[in-house]
Structure 1
Amino acid sequence: MSVPHPSPGPSSGARAAVLSSGNVSALTSGGTIRSELQPHLDEAVASRVAPAVSCAVVVGGSELPVLTAGAAGPDTFFDLASITKLYTTVTALALVDRGVLELDAPIGRYLPPYSRGDKSSVTLRHLLTHTSGLPSEWTGWHAALSQGQSFDRKVLLAELLTTPLEAAPGTRFAYSCAGYNTVMALAELVTGTPWAELVQYWVLERLATHDITGTPRLEHCAPTEFQPGLGRGMVRGIVHDEAAWSLGGLSGNAGMFATADGLRVFGSAFLQGLPGILSPALAAEMWLAQLPDMLGAHFNSAEPAFGQGLGLRINLQPWMGVEGTQARGHGGFTGTSLLVDKAKGIVIALLTNRVNPSRDGDDATALRKSVSDVVYSFA
């Protein structure tokens, strides 16, 4: 599949539509919101939750100025970690919209390792809703690293696709990074196009912002973890997630970088239904709770308590806040989160490098919740 150069995407207009809908009270209360949010960011730095924090908010249809604390400025790029899965979802669904992929067809028609046994019933929808039965992590990169070998992406992807299921498809929900890297492998095989080019063409160019990328300049990035044991030293400007690192960087599960404002642009596009990127039907499908239908008799309404859309997490407590019961979004291991609430007109892009210099500290959940609660109090 060739990737032609697209015409300018309309999402900058979608962002303008969000702004033009702002009401006077939201505009005039911006200073108060900022004065209430800033101490939470400052305290996160002071208490060593993270050395750098950046936050961009839409509330009441109005964008507030980007807030920062510690070693971050408005133009600092952060490793988004698993928020990348939302970009993966949108890229895959854009291919569904164009008839290149199918949401509910077995992926085994394209991927031979998925043509037999329980794996033969795995669909793209299974992968996007974490109901495929795949394990949480793929660790095939360990062997090459332990043997002192360089990573061979083609070999590693082939190994990834042989990952056995831990459960039959549609019988459990279990968050799976392996599943999202399988989405990447599927899209690359069907289109014949490298993953980074697919994400760039179907999503990033249509968002009309330079503040989201899979290849940031090192000097513009907040550092993540110090990993001498993996021979990486201080990781900066290179994806923190080890599986994505072994696969060359931007992958299905991780590898996207953004400023807080860049991530806010993505969130604002969700508020408007991803115009120019997805059809209204598929954009709406992303928002819907998928687990009751995907799990059927295996669905337990009490467990999990949160919901799962296509890519989007729903009511993910505790970080989405007390009033975020209708919120959608995603968090990232590095200390990042994106929250979108259509009913309230809210976007919260909160970025930290809480894994710097080590992942063993605070996971930033309390910070995420406190920021969400403040923003909701003004909605």
Structure 2
Amino acid sequence: MPVRVHGRCAPGFEPVREEFARNFAERGDLGAAVAVSVDGEWVVDLWGGDADRSGERPWERDTLVNTYSMTKGLTALCAHLLVDRGELDLDAPVARYWPEFARAGKADIPVRWLLSHRAGLIAPAEPLPPGAVHDWEKVTEALAATAPWWRPGTAQGYHAVTFGFLVGEVVRRISGLSLGAFLRAEVTGPLGADVHVGTPDSEHGRCADMARPEGSAPGGTIFGDAPQPPVGGLDEHPMAPVTLALRYLPLGDVNGPAYRRAEIPSANGHATARGMAAVYAELACGRLLSAGAVERLRTSQSAGEEPDLVLAAGSPFGAAWPWGLGYMLNQYGQAGPNPRAFGHGGAGGSYGFADPENRVAYGYVMNRMGAGTSGEDLRSYHLVDALYRALRERGGVVGGR
């Protein structure tokens, strides 16, 4: 039986609705939502399917879902707000704000390297027990005591779980607020954006359950469980699959209340598509951050075709991956034709981005895990393609490839 698509599309954006329906009919979506803002106006706000595998809970307009690493874009935004206010210097040592971080040879690591995945801290030195990821102090103390896995600054490697604790602790030391509380006070609360890092128990009833693809192993990741390579000394650049981070700092039951209420600012932001797109709309339309800050955050921190030591293990784009300051850059067109667009994907296929030149903001969230983590999931890719086809029909696209 065809899945009914709810919501609205502005005239001219019907191709997005058509592709959204095809995601259910042909590409395996279980429950999902997509929202698009153009020039500050909502042109797409769609949802459909089921909030759980049993089909007993329909996906509603206000259904929240775990967005995994889309959360990193929110975390980075908090840091950039502090930079804009003169309270955080990207080139200052992390230890200026977090003195305990200076241990284990990390005294000179600048804040910039935390945001660009160059600090070499993809995992704590020793595996933490199950449930430790819910304990902020335990994780940040472990990271402060950890020596980098490679020489900081010499290579980039996706800090899949640790990014949010590292950047979030800097935000906490400066502001006195946890990352989730700062985000709520400074961004999502004033915007009325339905986005949470540390989801209150009162909202858990709105949360969709994440569903693995049929036939997948319970312990696997979207990158597969490749054997963990030996990690060399500081002068070596080990290929470190993301499974290393997940084994040393396991996320546990992502559908459980402990995970949802914890603050894991790399991985457990719960949001509606409209809520996530509302945040990106502020960046697309020149609000919230200065123009200089937006240019800074989307300036590549990577060295040309530099491989990412973690994403290289699973990205269909290959070894090379360009990082801005906390954001994935649009080198491969996953955010449309404008190479200056930027955003962040989440494990399993969710994706959000801002395209300032075209004043476009986009959010896609879902609960059936797919193969994407960087915006390349075919469900999102076809939605973005339909969006920009509609924009061309309306009068063109700035910054096309």
Q: TM (normalized to structure 2)?
A: 0.70
1:149, distance to aligned residue in structure 2 (A): 8.4
* Match status 1:31 vs 2:11: yes
How far is the alpha carbon of 1:225 from its aligned partner?
Answer: 4.4
Q: What is the CA–CA distance in structure 2 between the aligned matches of 1:160 and 1:222, rounded to whole Å? A: 31
Q: Measure, in 1, the Cα distance between the counterparts of 2:278 and 2:113.
A: 28
Q: 2:325 aligns with which of 310, 314, 318?
A: 310
Pair 1:76-2:55 in alignment: no
Determine whether 1:281 maps to 2:292: yes
Q: 2:114 & 2:254 partners in 1: Cα distance?
A: 32
SS at match of 2:332: coil
**2:119 aligned residue:** 132
Distance 1:120 1:151 in 2: 27
**Residue range with higher mean Cα deviation, 310-319 or 330-339:** 310-319
- The CA deviation string for residues 163-189 of structure 1, in whole angstroms up to 9 with x for no partner, is 321222221121113233111122223
Q: Deviations over 1:27-56 (max 9, x none)?
A: xx933422x222322332234633111011
Report the equivalent of 2:385: 373
Alignment of 1:156 with 2:139, yes or no, is yes
SS at the partner of 2:344?
strand
How far did residue 144 of structure 1 move? 2.4
Kept in 2: contact 1:144–1:151 (CA 8 A) = no
Higher helix share: 1
> What CA deviation, in whole Å up to 9, does each residue of 1:93-116 have, x standing for no partner?
222333433211111234344325
- The residue that corresponds to 1:64 in the other structure is 43
CA distance in 2, matches of 1:60, 1:199: 23
Hey, what does 1:123 align to over in structure 2?
Answer: 110
Tell me which amino acid in the other structure corresponds to 1:340: A
Could you say which residue in structure 2 is the equivalent of 1:199?
183
Match of 1:66, SS state, is strand
| Distance in 1 separating the partners of 2:102 and 2:251 | 38
Aligned-residue identity in percent: 25
Amino acid in the other structure paired with 1:375: L
C-alpha distance after superposition, 1:183-231 (max 9, x if no partner) = 112222344333322222222233x214222325122121114798899
Mapped partners of 1:102, 1:55: distance in 2: 35
**Contact 2:116/2:301 (8 A) holds in 1:** yes
Structure 1 CA distance for aligned equivalents of residues 27 and 256 of structure 2: 19
Q: Is the 8 A contact 1:54 1:260 kept in 2?
A: yes
Q: Deviations over 1:245-267 (max 9, x none)?
A: 7xx62233122222111112111
Pick closer, same or farther for the CA change 1:236–1:370 going to 2, 3 Å. Answer: farther
Given the alignment, which residue of 204, 216, 220 partners 1:218? 204
What residue number does 2:31 align with? 52
1:1-379 → structure 2 map (5 Å cutoff): 30-34=10-14, 36-47=15-26, 49-59=28-38, 62-71=41-50, 72-116=59-103, 118-135=105-122, 137-138=123-124, 143-145=128-130, 152-177=135-160, 178-206=162-190, 208-214=191-197, 215=199, 217-225=203-211, 235=255, 239=259, 249-275=262-288, 278-291=289-302, 299-301=303-305, 303=307, 305-317=320-332, 319-321=334-336, 323-355=337-369, 361-363=370-372, 365-379=377-391
Contact (CA 8 Å) 1:354, 1:362: kept in 2 or not? no
Deviation at 1:351, TM superposition (A): 0.9
Distance 1:237 1:39, change over 3 A: farther
> Which stretches in structure 1 are left out of the alignment for 5+ residues?
1-28, 240-244, 292-298, 356-360
Q: Once structures 1 and 2 are overlaid, which stretch shifts more, 151-160 or 124-133?
A: 151-160
Distance 1:138 1:199, change over 3 A: farther
Q: Which amino acid aligns with 2:11?
A: G
Structure 2 counterpart SS, 1:119:
coil
> What secondary structure sits across from 2:71 in the alignment?
helix
Question: What is the alpha-carbon distance in structure 2 between the residues aligned to residue 73 and residue 139 of structure 1?
Answer: 42
Residues 111-156 of structure 1 deviation map (CA, whole Å, 9 limit, x = unaligned): 3443256422211111111122222x4586x5422xx989644223
Q: Distance in 2 between matches of 1:342 and 1:190?
A: 29
What's 2:233 paired with?
Answer: none
Unaligned runs of 5+ in 2: 1-8, 51-58, 220-249, 308-318, 392-401
1:335 counterpart letter in structure 2: G
Distance 1:79 1:91, change over 3 A: same
Q: CA deviation at 1:305?
A: 5.0
In structure 2, what is the Cα distance between the partners aligned to 1:151 and 1:308?
Answer: 27
Q: Partner letter of residue 359 of structure 2?
A: G
TM-score after normalising by structure 1: 0.74
Asked if the contact 1:223/1:237 (under 8 Å) is kept, the reply is no
Of 174-183 and 116-125, more deviation after overlay is shown by 116-125
Amino acid paired to 2:304: N
Question: For the residues of structure 2 that align with 1:149 and 1:93, how far apart are their CA atoms?
Answer: 28
Number of equivalent positions: 323
Counterpart CA distance in 2 for 1:150 and 1:372 is 34
State how far apart, in whole Å, the 2-side matches of 1:268 and 1:190 are.
Answer: 26
SS of 1:121's equivalent in the other structure is coil
- 1:281, distance to aligned residue in structure 2 (A): 2.7
Equivalent residue letter for 1:64: V
Alpha-carbon contact 1:59-1:375 (below 8 Å) kept: no
| RMSD (Å) for aligned C-alpha atoms | 3.2
Q: Distance in 2 between matches of 1:57 and 1:238?
A: 31
